Structure 1
Amino acid sequence: MTAPLRAQSVPPTVPGQLVLKLRPGQSLAVLETALQTLGAGPLTQKFPHALPPSGERPGSVELREIYQFRTAADLNKARAVLLATGAVEYVEPLYIRQPQYQPNDPFADSTLTSLTASQYYLKQIKAYHAWDITRGDSSIVIGITDGGVRLTHVELAPQIKHNYADPINGIDDDRDGYVDNFTGWDLANNDNDPGYDISIVHGTLVAGVAAARVDNGQGIAGLGNQCRFLPLNIYPNTPTGTFAGIEAVVYAADHGCQVINMSWGGPGGYSQFEQDAMTYAAVNRDAVLVAAAGNTNADLDFYPASYQHVISVSGVDNTDTKASNATFSHRIDLTAPGISILTCYGYHLANGGGPADNDYTAVGGTSFAAPLVAGAAALVRRQFPNYNADQVAARLRQTTDNIDALPANAAWAGRLGTGRLNVLAALTRANLTEARVVSSAFAPARAAYAPGEIISLTAAVQNLLAPVAGLSVTLTSLSPYVTVTAASFAAGNLGTLGRADNAAAPFRLAVAASGIPLNTRATLRYRLTAAGGFQLDQYVDLILNPDYVVLDANDLRLTLTSRGNLGYDNIFGTVGAGLTYRGSGNLLSEGGLLLATTPTRVSDRLRSSRGQMRQSFFSLRQATRQQPGPRADQEARVAFQDSVPAAGAAARSVGVAVRQRAYAWATPGRRDFVVLEYSLKNLTADTLKPLYAGIFADWDLPTPDGAAHNAAAYDSLRALAYSYALGQLPPPATPAPGTYAGLRLLRGGPPAVYSIDGNAPAGSPVRLADGFSAAEKFRTLSSGTARAQRTAGLPNGSDVMQVLGTRLARLAPGDSATVAFAVLAASTLAQLQSSADAAAAAYATVLPTRTAQAVAGFSVYPNPTTGLLHVEISPDFGLREIRVHNALGQLVRRQPASGAAAAISLSGLAPGLYLLRVQGTSAVVSETVEVR
């Protein structure tokens, strides 16, 4: 059964710090101007000593092109600016991953009456017999990436791996970029003391499980036995320190750790930067990566455990029942005991007043299941020295004791990995087989798939252990909303480390045409089978029926969400396809509907402050797309509303229901715009007077030297707010697609425009550097055009945004009003203006019962009329002619006109609705009129 998309929280991030990765062959010089516009500090190469990719290690990754920098700009702005240069592969925050620590009271459990009994798990995982096979070796090093370790603890001091190539002398003797890293390193605070911090004992606890001294006549025995560990602190204890778990993984891999333990992490927050680091450690450096799956008691993705090349470890108790707090999912590889694990403490104050070096405590959580697997991996590396990291992981998975059949685990069957760790079997069992899918590629490659889509899936498999015969891969949909039509391929016979794929005949998938719940996660199961009874299940997910649609009938490709946003459904730019034009990069960093009645009654889903997003609107009906539609080649429908202010309470919302329609055409002359129409209904008991409605657009138009060299302006003749890129290549170079973009008001009351400089200094009326407040949003909507800020970004260009809106004088309770806009893009201003006129004509002609435009001073009265109809318009419009069409589109009246006012008689026309079209020098405006 398919579960809905699981909510993923966003982990905390290091303030003001971002990372980027250059595309192959690109130079840092390309980024210079873009970084200046962001006010970014200097770029620091993240891993200058990283091992380059190697053709002998397929899938190895390049880390030397990753750079860290400081900026006050928010993530979505920095991402848009830097990606627009074309030189950057990704821009991401640095996530702060939390230790997975859930301590219980020391020795509270009645079974923990002696040191022998306290380590029940050693018997459970067959450690004693495993040590008869191998006790490891001091050359095998486990990297403990965690909080600082009590380096003087009697169980840990003898087990530390020291770097004798760099003794403590103030010199970087081994020239690895770290001075005096004799005893590990403190990555969080950038010093050579990875030692004990009384506020973070987690590292000491984890190190004891994996590597506590054996045969010293006291305390406990670490599973790694004779293997050593490298202490690497990842948590800050200084004002300038930052979380450094990912950096510690790379450090450990670069400094000879064959196994790396990560007893930390968090749900959600997938990061390609973090995945690159994991791939580097596992593939480039051949390290076995082990991570805690988390203490969530939920089915979710938990990072870093859920990354590729990482062994994800969940927890069980002493009866092999899933621990009550342990994460479960298809991404779990195996489990290990994680309840009442006795380990080193180093915390209790001794007689001298300092922390003790010989104390212990019992703790619980997947943090302490993971180092058991890390210790086992170290023993396997000693026993099978020719195995690579993937083969070590395969042996650990294929030698577990299956626990799915236990009645207590029935609810989690299939989501606890292959079973519970068995160290003896991992060291001794022969003729093991494990082939697995190592990559999955969907085509078309999308973040989510709409109902009715057809998808192909290419899978690559690799055999990791003993040669297999007759390997077959069968794909099954576990979702009722996906049908697999080409369901299997024969990989055949594969030797050890042999590979095969189905690129010549991919799997074929069909998404159901209807009935799919919103944002459904569909799970597909790979079942690998081979001669001799081998069977392995793996899983891959895809998202169906996303909470947005993409209009792509013409050259403008625009995402509409179910809650009023344009381009993306979040401020991180990760949910949606943005706005592109003729193959350009994304042109719209953030966009969406704004409603307001007062400076405190504002509704939107746009940025607010401190990287947060307002959540005024909630969906009434998800965005749907129809192709073709009744009025255009492609149409979309959305329904949402904000909350209704409670009687007598201070209102913060407007209280409006919105029905949004969007239209796109594929015909020549209509390929550069999308029309957005909003029907606004007053849900409150009071008249909204006035009601302001508009669109916010944070444009990011590409320039040769970065996307933040933009300017904004306003064309009053067309009620057209537009932005354009500065710094274009000189003639005769062809302007780039998307050099100009804008919004035109097509229907509503008097227009309002406000152009915003994203780098405006302190004290500016609207300054987005410190957030976008409700009062600032109201100002942008209510300033009209006469005194509003109509330009921004000149003379040198800046990061610009615009609000184009309109004022509805009153909206009575239960009444509705309609406003409409066109979203446009073009390569030149003349093309943009021509497209704006075409959008007005399209809206007027195709939708004859709707008003097509609002222009300053344009009014028609009386409406309804019994005869004479008066027309008033701005003198700048260049009035030339008035035409009247009936409901069939037939011309029934025509009259030349000039100046700022004219009148036309409709006497003699049959009662009904007519379309009045007013022709100007270079524009057409329309209005629906009723004859009685």
Structure 2
Amino acid sequence: MKNTLRILLFFSLIGLAGPLRVSAAPPTVPGRLVLKLRPGQSQAALEAAFSTLGAFGFQQKFPHALAPSPERPGSVELRGIFQFHVPPALTLAKARAVLLATGAVEYVEPLYIREPLYQPTDPMADSTNTNIATGQFYLKQIQAYRAWDVTRGDSSIVIAITDGGVRLTHEDLRQQIKHNYADPINGIDDDGDGYVDNFTGWDLADNDNDSGYDITIIHGTLVAGIAAARTDNGLGIAGLGNRCRFLPLNIYPNTPTGVFAGIEAVVYAADHGCQIINMSWGAPGGYSRLEQDAMNYAAVNRDAVLVAAAGNTSADILFYPASYDHVISVSGVQNTDQKSPNATFNHRVDLVAPGVSILTTQGYHAATSTGPADGDYIAVGGTSFAAPLVAAAAALVRRQFPQFTAAQVAAQLRQTTDNIDGLPVNAAWAGRMGTGRLNVLKALTQTTRQEARVLTSTFAPARATYAPGDTTRLTVDVQNLLLPVAGLTVTLTSLSPYLTVQQGSFAVGSLATLGRATNAATPFRVAVAASTIPLNTTATLRYRLTATGGFQYDQYVDLVLNPDYVVLNANDLAVTLTSRGNLAYDNLTGTIGAGVTYRASGNILSEGGLLLAASPTRVSDRIRASGSQSRQSFFSLNQATRQQPGPRAAQEARVAFQDTVPVAGSRVRSVGVAVRQRAYAWDTPGRRDFVVLEYSLKNITADTLKPLYAGLFTDWDLPTPDGAGKNAAAWDSTRTLGYCYPLGISSAAISPPVYAGVRLLRGGTPAVYSIDSSAPAGSPIRLADGFSLAEKFLALSSGTARAQRTAGLPNGADVVQVVGTRLAKLAPGDSTTVAFALLAAPTLAQLQASADAAAQVYATLLPTRLTTLAAGFNVYPNPSTGLLRVEVPPAFGLAEVRVLDALGRVAMHQAASGSSVNLNVAKLAPGLYTVQAQGVGGLLARTVVVR
């Protein structure tokens, strides 16, 4: 565990919305994903879904992993993790939606590529020193020489070097390698571990037994020398691990078919008896449940000490794998104990170690007149080289205290450091460099230390982000790792002005070594400020653990407040609205946002959002483009906000965004429209299955948009009993309703929902386009090779020509639908309004009933904002089933009354005079209409519903 905790809160779709306070995610292995099956599920449950996605190469990732044990709380199951290949055009969001809809999958993720953290300093640093030992200043700094008087380690203790290949023939390394004598080089898997001839480690990246030197990546040799270079051989340097051995595990490919394999190496090391695992690699951001599972497995199932470099970012950010639970995060200092210039600092750092001008084995140069091959050394810098010092120290602690668990070894290292926060040069980073600088002598000799820690934090309700005014309860699990403690208290304090701790004390009392306690009976209570919170604010809570005798230890937990999206969840349909026009998620990976859910379902919309177009080359959207990229036409004008309750609905949302004004001769392909979006959700009976989305569109160009097309793109992923995600799309012209439904449903009512769709409530001429995502080459729209501007325009501008062409029949497919409208013209500076209802229901009949209810609500509770409202102008009864009375002011000079349908067509008209007229609307089809009164006083309009 860390000396800070992270809220690992998961959306219903995947488990996690994404880590807090991170930068952009690292690159991923193209065309390959990984998933974890739920307990009791098998590959057979995914066959139909894999067919839908075009996925192949399903392979168990860790077939030899140790099963979880009830004797090790927190141990995990890795045997249910599988990797597979996907088509290049398949988005992660789509794969997640289809696979999670089967109900058999716990999570779906990409495989991240983490880079080695190599930052060489002056190549000649210390190279002129003929006495190499005195060049290793850092050994004295961390009290290594005196520590070796206590223990020099043992060859039975093995440090895994998960890194680039190691120069196995180097003079200071070749005798320190841990060989697997149970599997000699003979072409046979003698020990039956699934790896043939893994006598000298393994190359996880290329899946062969050559873990040796690669001229392009010498990082592994550098790291290995610091931790385990041979001592007392009269050559080169002395590794801090002294007599401890190392196991070389290559994680970087040196063949065309190889892939990064850091996580695989961690599991391999744990399964092959490595008590310490060093990870001098990583990247900012890109939190992964797979990677956390692997860390849990190595640390808990296999009781290995995990050590990782905190990164060379010189920033307060999360860096993985160092920031995962159960990993000792190591940052760096100079020989003066001042923070290294490029070292990462954060609340998850456990301790620091020297990381500048660290002399180590190089293994790069051939034999020269000044030295033999395999006998070169170099001074390097970075947290990559601070981490193996801590890994080696952990190996010595394991030798000195063989009864310690991995968690206790980490605690001993933390609690025996030399505190450096008090140095004036470190004032800017105080509290974010862990407990201090590594002191190996203290770690081996001090046996009176205490450390109690918060192991887990559980928030209820569990959310990825918290909105202004939210409250939450916080339950913690505390464990004592070292000597028994008495009078233990955990005090929760807010370090943010936007969080208030309403109940923040947990009196634990006495805890024996490895004893545990929880405050489940009286959890902490935390409230979020009601207003003035900056957008996407990361707020920090501090746990301060104190005990009798002066023990004090701080840990931290972060929350993200006031996100740049809102969720309308007043009824059974919960919809995420982003500040830039998207629905469900703000990105294609499906990690920013809460998706769209209905009742107890998982996410049912993998991608959605507003589309605008004026021509095949002028389109504005934030929908997929090609590959894993999306267009970025819209930018936010104001933060998305939610009002609860609102003046017209139980929940209301406001969003404002626009695209770029196109300039003649430029490459800008936008339309030039400012959008103000309003959304409404109700919690009353009959209104629980829809959310109304209204868009006010303003032409911000100097030219008339003639015509302007607007619509909603929806990539529904509705679950089916067989998990195949086979859907079809259709069009209800009576209601201007485009909808999607799954095939293979026989029950009249089933939950989760089986129908979802979009109804055009207001606009011009309707349009609908249903798309089969697996359409072959030559199709008018083919999403397999991207979604071009011309294809988006076609989807918006084809009217209802394809209305009777359902997509997905007869066998079902992954279908996409665009429901939109054609507005004849929009002059410069003018505005117009279009409105849609987003719907979900268990049956088609219920979906249609909800569509009718949405139209009625829009007409009666949300009066048209752009019509002229005048005193004395009344239209009633509304709704009406027969006679409709229209009254105007006496001076208006009434001449004619017209009734327009939802598409703007004249359904009936009648000459009139005086101040009132009766209309018989009994013969009109049920629906939404606009009554217009024309007179010398102008035009009056009012929306009505005919039943």
Which interval holds the TM-score relative to the shorter structure?
A: over 0.9
Look up the match of 2:31.
16
- 2:828 paired residue among 798, 808, 813: 813
Question: Which secondary structure does the structure 2 equivalent of 1:597 belong to?
Answer: strand
Asked if 1:347 is matched to 2:347, the reply is no
Alignment of 1:180-191 (within 5 A): 180-191=197-208
Letter in 1 for 2:563: P
- 2:757 paired residue among 737, 742, 748: 742
CA shift in 2, pair 1:896/1:575, >3 Å: closer
Deviation at 1:597? Answer: 1.1
Whole-Å separation in 1 of the counterparts to 2:869 and 2:426: 73
Look up the match of 2:9.
none
Look up the match of 2:194.
177
CA shift in 2, pair 1:901/1:880, >3 Å: farther
Alignment of 1:459-470 (within 5 A): 459-470=476-487
Look up the match of 1:35.
50
Task: State TM-score, norm by structure 2.
Answer: 0.92
Look up the match of 1:905.
911
- 1:271 paired residue among 275, 279, 288: 288
Letter in 2 for 1:903: H
Look up the match of 1:876.
none
Question: Which deviates further from its counterpart, 701-710 or 320-329?
Answer: 701-710
Letter in 2 for 1:86: G
Question: Which deviates further from its counterpart, 304-313 or 901-910?
Answer: 901-910
Deviation at 1:916? Answer: 11
Whole-Å separation in 2 of the counterparts to 1:514 and 1:799: 42
Question: Which deviates further from its counterpart, 100-109 or 20-29?
Answer: 100-109
Whole-Å separation in 2 of the counterparts to 1:916 and 1:348: 96
Q: Deviations over 1:322-349 (max 9, x none)?
A: 1111100000000001111111111112
Look up the match of 1:857.
none
Contact 2:51–2:724 (Cα < 8 Å) also in 1: no
Question: Which secondary structure does the structure 2 equivalent of 1:378 belong to?
Answer: helix
> Over aligned residues, Cα RMSD in angstroms?
2.8
CA shift in 2, pair 1:903/1:44, >3 Å: same
Deviation at 1:881? Answer: 6.2
Asked if 1:280 is matched to 2:297, the reply is yes
Contact 2:565–2:639 (Cα < 8 Å) also in 1: yes
Question: Which secondary structure does the structure 2 equivalent of 1:377 belong to?
Answer: helix
Asked if 1:445 is matched to 2:462, the reply is yes
Asked if 1:646 is matched to 2:655, the reply is no
Deviation at 1:924? Answer: 3.9
Q: Deviations over 1:687-729 (max 9, x none)?
A: 222211111101000101225300011112211111101011x
CA shift in 2, pair 1:901/1:659, >3 Å: closer
Asked if 1:580 is matched to 2:597, the reply is yes
Look up the match of 2:810.
795
Look up the match of 2:616.
599
Contact 1:758–1:768 (Cα < 8 Å) also in 2: yes
Look up the match of 1:319.
336
Deviation at 1:788? Answer: 6.6
Look up the match of 2:794.
779
Contact 1:915–1:926 (Cα < 8 Å) also in 2: no
- 1:708 paired residue among 725, 731, 737: 725
Asked if 1:120 is matched to 2:120, the reply is no
Contact 2:103–2:723 (Cα < 8 Å) also in 1: no
Look up the match of 1:840.
855
Letter in 2 for 1:17: R
Alignment of 1:430-579 (within 5 A): 430-579=447-596
Deviation at 1:539? Answer: 0.3
Identity %: 74
Deviation at 1:810? Answer: 1.5
CA shift in 2, pair 1:805/1:109, >3 Å: farther
Alignment of 1:851-890 (within 5 A): 883=884
Look up the match of 2:14.
none
Look up the match of 2:382.
365
Alignment of 1:50-449 (within 5 A): 50-72=65-87, 73-108=90-125, 114-351=131-368, 356-449=373-466
Deviation at 1:651? Answer: 3.1
CA shift in 2, pair 1:650/1:258, >3 Å: closer
- 1:657 paired residue among 655, 660, 674: 674
CA shift in 2, pair 1:886/1:823, >3 Å: farther
Look up the match of 2:15.
none
Contact 1:744–1:821 (Cα < 8 Å) also in 2: yes
Whole-Å separation in 1 of the counterparts to 2:238 and 2:888: 89
CA shift in 2, pair 1:393/1:930, >3 Å: farther
CA shift in 2, pair 1:122/1:108, >3 Å: closer
Whole-Å separation in 2 of the counterparts to 1:127 and 1:831: 74
Whole-Å separation in 1 of the counterparts to 2:138 and 2:430: 22
Whole-Å separation in 2 of the counterparts to 1:895 and 1:758: 43
Relative contact order higher in (CA < 8 Å, ≥ 6 apart)? 2
Letter in 2 for 1:923: G
Deviation at 1:650? Answer: 3.6
Whole-Å separation in 1 of the counterparts to 2:215 and 2:466: 50
Question: Which deviates further from its counterpart, 733-742 or 438-447?
Answer: 733-742
Whole-Å separation in 1 of the counterparts to 2:639 and 2:724: 32
Contact 1:917–1:924 (Cα < 8 Å) also in 2: no
Letter in 1 for 2:682: W
Question: Which secondary structure does the structure 1 equivalent of 2:615 belong to?
Answer: coil
Whole-Å separation in 2 of the counterparts to 1:790 and 1:355: 76
CA shift in 2, pair 1:386/1:910, >3 Å: same
Question: Which deviates further from its counterpart, 569-578 or 265-274?
Answer: 569-578
Q: Deviations over 1:31-59 (max 9, x none)?
A: 11111111111421111111111111111
Asked if 1:25 is matched to 2:40, the reply is yes
Whole-Å separation in 2 of the counterparts to 1:13 and 1:897: 54
Letter in 1 for 2:390: V
Contact 2:158–2:247 (Cα < 8 Å) also in 1: yes
Contact 1:886–1:915 (Cα < 8 Å) also in 2: no
Q: Deviations over 1:748-790 (max 9, x none)?
A: 1111111111111222221222222222211211111125784
Deviation at 1:654? Answer: 1.5
Question: Which secondary structure does the structure 2 equivalent of 1:769 belong to?
Answer: helix
Deviation at 1:920? Answer: 3.8
Whole-Å separation in 2 of the counterparts to 1:928 and 1:67: 63
Look up the match of 1:874.
none
Look up the match of 2:6.
none
Contact 1:326–1:366 (Cα < 8 Å) also in 2: yes
Question: Which deviates further from its counterpart, 145-154 or 625-634?
Answer: 625-634
CA shift in 2, pair 1:467/1:792, >3 Å: same
CA shift in 2, pair 1:226/1:568, >3 Å: same
Deviation at 1:25? Answer: 1.6
Structure 1 residue ranges without an equivalent (≥5): 853-861, 870-878
Deviation at 1:917? Answer: 7.5
CA shift in 2, pair 1:60/1:650, >3 Å: closer
Structure 2 residue ranges without an equivalent (≥5): 1-18, 938-947
Whole-Å separation in 2 of the counterparts to 1:887 and 1:174: 94
Question: Which secondary structure does the structure 2 equivalent of 1:163 belong to?
Answer: coil
Question: Which deviates further from its counterpart, 613-622 or 305-314?
Answer: 613-622
Question: Which secondary structure does the structure 2 equivalent of 1:159 belong to?
Answer: coil
Whole-Å separation in 1 of the counterparts to 2:682 and 2:511: 52
- 2:744 paired residue among 717, 727, 738: 727
Deviation at 1:793? Answer: 0.9
Whole-Å separation in 2 of the counterparts to 1:610 and 1:155: 48
Letter in 2 for 1:359: D
Whole-Å separation in 2 of the counterparts to 1:134 and 1:150: 27
Question: Which secondary structure does the structure 1 equivalent of 2:554 belong to?
Answer: strand
